[in-house]
Structure formats: structure tokens, C-alpha cells
Amino acid sequence: MKIIIIIFACILSMQNVTPLKAQNIKDTITMKELTKEEEHVLINKGTELPFTGKYTNNKAQGVYLCKLCGAKLYLSEDKYDSKCGWPSFDDEIDGAIKREIDADGVRTEIMCAKCGAHLGHVFKGENHTLKNLRHCVNSISMVFKPTEEIAIVAGGCFWGVEHLMQKQEGVISAISGYIGGEVENPTYEQVSDKSTGHAEAVKITFDPTVIDFERVVQLFFEIHDSTQEDGQGPDLGPQYRSEIFYTSDEQKEIAEKVIAELKEKGYDVKTKVTEAKTFNVAEERHQDYYERKGTEPYCHTRKQIF
């Protein structure tokens, strides 16, 4: 019964408000193109149905941003399961949220402090957490950025790519492995025989609050020769090809955008952009190779392009 009351209260608080004209927000920030559903919530102060938002049960670590302007709103550590049907937070990032009392003088609307986009409503006194506060937020009003993201790239011998990527600020780890082939759990010897279809690749884990995927891709192009086909320096063969293995449509778009920029600069880029499948971690002897050896790569150096 308590859950039903909470859901009913949320629906009333999100619906019985005076819509904010879209022009008011457009005056303060350049809006991207919104879907009808996004405009209904962000601009006209509507609400999505309970238990339908993609972040309601999201338990990943990261930060929630405003869908409209990208401002940081909430941290995952402040999110909790209130069972109300919408993402719930008992705290906000300092200065991120603006509050206004609804027309009835009872309910409190919450908006992005930067652009004024509608987020939801805030409630006190429900005793869900020690902070005794619930920001009831529409999933559609936010974008979630995980604390860690993955990029998988191939650009010649994985020793050099791994070594140089590990040096970049924001990169948490770089692991050598194999991807793009048909054989399960390939060995280094099998990949070297050029019979499995795999590329020597590196899985890069990075902190997107420090370095984003686009910059990782740019760095990848700066540490290898993307104009060489099926090889890198003296290392020749399809296992040494240049390739980006994307894990989302967004990564694909970014990779293709960076390649287009390189072509505009006059580079005859041979790099492929392929959906990531199984990444097989290489043998232990191939991990941290140059760090253990105490030398620098012989076929990978940094050349600033961007």
C-alpha cells in the first residue's frame, strides 16, 4: 500500500504543474534536437511512466548528467532503491539542482540549475535513508556516464600500444589480447600463423571524467601509422592491422568522426571500425612487456596530430 501511495504522489507531483515554454530554456542554452518524449518531460514538465525508465534499476558506478546541457547532477553513490518506479537520490552534486515550489504551494519541483530542464520532484520525511530525502527523477531527463569505460584498439604489436596507452592520464589499465577472429581462445602462436583472423589488440579501461573516448581514439592514431595496411613498421600481417572495435553506437560514431577528420587532414587512413566481439586476454608473458623489459617500443612512437 505504501508503494502505491508513493507512486501516486509522484505522478500527481510531476503532472500537476504549469508547463515551461521551450523558448525559456532555448534562451539560456542551445538545445540539441529532442524527441517528443524528451520534450514532454524536459521542457513541458511531464513524466515518464513508473518502472519504465532505463536508469530506475541502474546500479553501475558513475555520474548522472542533465540530458539537455550535460551538467553533472547526481553521483551513483547517492542513488538508492525507493521502489517508487523512478530513479531516486538522497543527495545532489553541490549547486546542480534548482528548486521551485509548485503552483499548489505544496510540491517542490527540481530542475537543472544550469539550463532549467525539468528533472522531477523532491520529497522529505519518507525515512528511506538517513538523509531522509528523495529526489524522484525521470530517467529520460538524464544521461549516465560510468566511472570506467572500455576502448579496444589494434594497431600493430600490442606491446607498444599497451605501453604508450598506459602512460596517458585517465587510463586505468591496458591489457594485451586478441580479437576479431573465429577461433576460440587463440594462442599467440596461432594468431602469429595468420590463420585465426584475430588482431593483436589492447583493451583500455579509462576514467571518462578525466579522458573521454574521443581523446583515447585520437591518442591511438597518434601512436601508430594508420596509413599502413596489415602491418605496423616491420611487423607485417593481418594480425598487425589497424582497427577500432566499438562497444556502442556512440563509440562507432566517434571513431568514424575522428577518421573523417584525419582524411580531411590528408591521411589515407586504412583503419577499420568494427563491432567488438570476444576479447581474449593474451598470455601473461605479453602483459606489461616493455615495463618489465625496461625499454621503449621499437615500432610505436607518439606523433602529435590533434
Q: How far apart are CA 5 and CA 177, in angstroms?
A: 52
Q: How far apart are CA 216 and CA 155, in angstroms?
A: 13
Q: How far apart are CA 247 and CA 105, in angstroms?
A: 47
Q: Which residues are catalytic?
A: 136, 157
How, if at all, do strands 242-246 and 272-275 pair?
A: parallel
How, if at all, do strands 149-155 and 242-246 pair?
A: antiparallel
Q: In which element (H, E) is residue 160 found?
A: helix 158-166
Joined together, the cell numbers standing for residue 181 give: 577472429
Q: DSSP secondary-structure letter at 170?
A: T
Backbone angles phi, psi at 113, to 5 degrees: -65, -25
| Cβ burial, residue 234 (10 Å; 0-12/13-18/19+) | exposed
Distance of alpha carbon 123 from the chain centroid: 30
Evaluate whether 265 touches 304 at the Cβ level (below 8 Å): no
b or e along 57-91 (b: 16 or more beta carbons within 10 Å of the residue's beta carbon)? ebeeebbbbbbbbebbbbbbebbeebebbbbbbbb
Which residues are 165's β-sheet partners?
none
